[in-house]
Amino acid sequence: MPVISVVIPRLKTNQLRWTFTGAFEARQSLIVRGLFPMLADPRHPAESKSSTNESVLKVALDHGKASGVIKPHDRVVVCQKLGDASVVKIIELED
């Protein structure tokens, strides 16, 4: 069963230049068979509200459909961190 791992990168600055973290973590997960890492848009911080988390989830599911990993009517297990809580939900994809 394939797994899509969404890494939300962080942008940091020291007033002279910007640094981007998260690409290393995504690259590290390439070593695991069946794990497909994906970098999310860094403008969506992980600690943000539920609507942003849903938009990141939608982008990940669309990417999975486009790459052929996910097909219509598949069930998808979503593990995400919302604030201090970890949530696991199962959703069934539509057409």
Any idea what the CATH number is for the domain that residue 29 is in?
3.40.1380.20
Domain that holds residue 38: 3-92
Sorting pLDDT into bands at 50, 70 and 90, what band is 69? Answer: confident
Residue 19: is its pLDDT beyond 70?
A: yes
Q: What is the mean pLDDT of residues 74-79?
A: 84
- State the alpha helices, DSSP H only, in the chain: 23-28, 50-67
Residue 50: is its pLDDT beyond 70?
A: no
Residue 33: is its pLDDT beyond 70?
A: yes
Q: What is the mean pLDDT of residues 28-33?
A: 82
- State the alpha helices, DSSP H only, in 1-85: 23-28, 50-67
Number of domains in the chain: 1
What does the alpha-carbon distance between residue 73 and residue 43 come to, in Å, rounded to a whole number?
30
Whole-model pTM: value is 0.65
Sorting pLDDT into bands at 50, 70 and 90, what band is 44? Answer: low
